[in-house]
C-alpha cells in the first residue's frame, strides 16, 4: 500500500504584471491558507488519519516554495522537499511518470504543484463516483490537500482508476474566510 498526497499551491498574487509566472508569490489569503492546511495536517497526524511524509516532491516555483513554508509553519515541522522542475505546469501524464519513478522504499509521498496537472492526476487515478471524487471533479481550489490511497506495492504500478480518495481538504472547509476561490 502506498499513499500519495497532492497539494495544490496556495493562492498567488498577480500584483506585478512584469513578474514571470514562475516568480509569482502568494497573496495574503494564500499565506493564511497554507498555514491553515499545515495546522490541519498537524492535527490529522496526531489523530492518525494522515501519515508522516517520507518523500516530498515539489515544483520549484516561488508560490509552491512559499506554500510549503506556510504549511511547515502550521505543521510545526519541516517537510524537506525535493524540487523538481518537471512538476512546474506539468500534465497529468508527466506527473504519473514522475510518481512511477519514486523509489519503492518511500511509502507516503507528498506532491506539491499546480493545476490543471494535479486535478487531472487525481481524476485519472481515482475512479469516477460520488463523494469526494465528485467534489474534486467540480473544482480543485488552491491550497487543497488530497490524500490518495493506492493498493500497490511499487510506485511503478501507479495507473488510472486504482486509487481511493481518502481526504479532500479545502482551506475554506477549515476557515470560511479562505474561500471560495475567485
Determine the pLDDT at residue 179. Answer: 84
Domain annotation covers residue 160: yes
User: Considering only CA atoms, which of 120, 103, 94, 133 is closest in space to residue 2?
Assistant: 103
The pLDDT tens digits of the residues spanning 147-164 come to 999 999 999 999 888 899
**19 falls within a domain:** no
Query: Which CATH number characterizes residue 151's domain?
Result: 3.40.50.1240
Q: Which domain holds residue 142?
A: 2-12+24-177
> Is 56 strand, coil or helix?
strand
The count of C-alpha atoms lying within 13 angstroms of the C-alpha of 45, restricted to the half-sphere facing its C-beta, is: 14
Residue 130: count of CB within 10 angstroms of its CB: 7
Predicted confidence pLDDT, tens digits, the chain (182 residues): 999 999 999 999 988 888 999 999 999 999 999 999 999 999 999 999 999 999 999 999 999 999 999 999 999 999 999 999 999 999 999 999 999 999 999 999 999 999 999 999 999 999 998 889 999 999 999 999 999 999 999 999 998 888 999 999 999 999 999 987 54
Tell whether 45 is covered by a domain.
Answer: yes
Amino acid at each position: 500500500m502506498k499513499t500519495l498526497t497532492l497539494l495544490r499551491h496556495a493562492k498567488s498574487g498577480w500584483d506585478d504584471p512584469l513578474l514571470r509566472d514562475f516568480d509569482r508569490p502568494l497573496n495574503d489569503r494564500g499565506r493564511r491558507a497554507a498555514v491553515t492546511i499545515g495546522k490541519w495536517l498537524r492535527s490529522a497526524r496526531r489523530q492518525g488519519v494522515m501519515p508522516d511524509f517520507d518523500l516530498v516532491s515539489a515544483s520549484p516555483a516561488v508560490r509552491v516554495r512559499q506554500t510549503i513554508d506556510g504549511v511547515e509553519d502550521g505543521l510545526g515541522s519541516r517537510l524537506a522537499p525535493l524540487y523538481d522542475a518537471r512538476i512546474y505546469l506539468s500534465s497529468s501524464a508527466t506527473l504519473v511518470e514522475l510518481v512511477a519513478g519514486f523509489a519503492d522504499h518511500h511509502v507516503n509521498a507528498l506532491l506539491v504543484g499546480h493545476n490543471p496537472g494535479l486535478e487531472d492526476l487525481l481524476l485519472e487515478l481515482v475512479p469516477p463516483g460520488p463523494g469526494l471524487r465528485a467534489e474534486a471533479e467540480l473544482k480543485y481550489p488552491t491550497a487543497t490537500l488530497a490524500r490518495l490511497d493506492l493498493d500497490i506495492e511499487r510506485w511503478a504500478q501507479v495507473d488510472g482508476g486504482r486509487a481511493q480518495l481518502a481526504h479532500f481538504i479545502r482551506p475554506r472547509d477549515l476557515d470560511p474566510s479562505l474561500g471560495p476561490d475567485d
